[in-house]
Amino acid sequence: QIEQIDIGGPTLIRAAAKNFEHVAVIVRPADYEWALLRLQAGGLSREDRALLAYRAFAHVAEYDALIADWFRRFDPDGALPETLTLTYRLAQRLRYGENPHQQAAFYREPFAPHGCIATAEQLWGKELSYNNLLDADAALELVREFEQPACAIIKHTNPCGVALGESITEAFLRALEADPVSAFGGIVACNRPIDREAAEAMVAPGTFFEVVLAPDFAPDALPLFQERKGWGQNVRLLRTGELPPPSQLHGYAVRSLTGGALYTERDTIDWNPDALQVVTERTPTESEWVDLRFAWRVVKHVKSNAIVVAKGGVVWGVGAGQMNRVGSVRLALEAAGEHARGAVLASDAFFPFPDSIDLAAQAGIRAIVQPGGSKKDPEVIAAANETGIAMVFTGVRHFRH
């Protein structure tokens, strides 16, 4: 592999680009016809040659960055290197960014893994927007958490419906039932192919979705979306291929700051039974353990402060993005309503005070999973014991900003 690294080619390209005042260097076949037309019309202007020089330097820079990335494995500090050189390729120019007055484009990693939003194939519908891509990515990363059929409905990167089922149809209907109001205009992701039965459920009267993505779509399912009156012509249908589990997608995420960037390991840690600690007098029942695991996997995909109320493999209430934890608890319990009785509750971080436990008990919550680690843990545990709630500490926090 080392012998495949080109030395002379990049050197010649750099030299020609540096001498752009007198030389035109072309590295993209797509530029051949453009350059030929200009030559036939009298020649390449200085601005034309400068543009070609820019593309040449960018081409060589990407080549060098990919080689450096391969060699980074030999650096003891390679996971967090002194110089971070990343390269992405333009995948799509977007109509606008997060808002209409912002420009935007979608860039793809040169070797993006299969089964992710960057490699998904759009089978139908309008051009994807900036917000569509953000929400679709959030939906896909959530459903890949589960081994059995799962469906997630996302609005503004937060789940408003998540459920498991014996089939994708059942999972979708259960997810929709939890919050049909918020689901309207949302993004639907499934971790199994969508068959005709599931498509019929998704296009039923009263529904509207911006994006539907799944590993695949049955041939007889596609026309049901395409011919759906009202929004069928616009709905974006994305085929992702088989979804690898989070454990196979280790890597790092980049967040832009003004004047810099944050580079962090992805949160792919899974439920670890050996690390769990039951801290209350009551131990969760077998069914509560199942729901605690389900809720814990969902809550790490909710914006902090995050609370999830679940029962029977369905998320019935979500509290997201509140500035205090008890506020998120109130929202989740209110959304769950009567479904909170006998349900479990998951929190992405510890409870700073026992007030959240009191609210959960009043609503009928029977078990709670949280990281633990608060100075008030003894008071929180005491509140759980007083109300008969089983509480499990994971030792793992799942902040999401």
The residues that are catalytic are 18, 156
Q: Tell me the sheet residues that pair with 217.
A: 194
Paired tokens of 90: 């333009």
Tell which residue, 315, 385, 301, has the closest CA to residue 348: 301
> What is the rounded distance in angstroms from the CA atom of residue 228 to the CA atom of residue 346?
37
For 368, the 3-state DSSP assignment is strand
Paired tokens of 2: 């080392």
249 Cβ neighbours under 8 A, 6+ residues apart? 113, 116, 144, 266, 268
Based on DSSP, count helices (H) and strands (E) in the chain, helices before strands. Answer: 12, 16
Q: Tokens 């409870």 — which residue? A: 351
Residue 171 CA to its chain's centroid (Å): 19
> What is the rounded distance in angstroms from the CA atom of residue 44 to the CA atom of residue 87?
29
> What is the rounded distance in angstroms from the CA atom of residue 90 to the CA atom of residue 337?
46
What 8-state DSSP symbol labels residue 313? T
34 Cβ neighbours under 8 A, 6+ residues apart? none
> What is the rounded distance in angstroms from the CA atom of residue 117 to the CA atom of residue 115?
7
> What is the rounded distance in angstroms from the CA atom of residue 171 to the CA atom of residue 214?
13
Nearest 10 degrees: Cα torsion 323, 328, 334, 336: 150
169, 149 Cβ separation under 8 angstroms: no
- Peptide bond preceding 131 in cis form (omega within 30 of 0): no
Question: Phi-psi bin for 395: left (phi > 0), alpha (psi -120 to 50), beta?
Answer: left
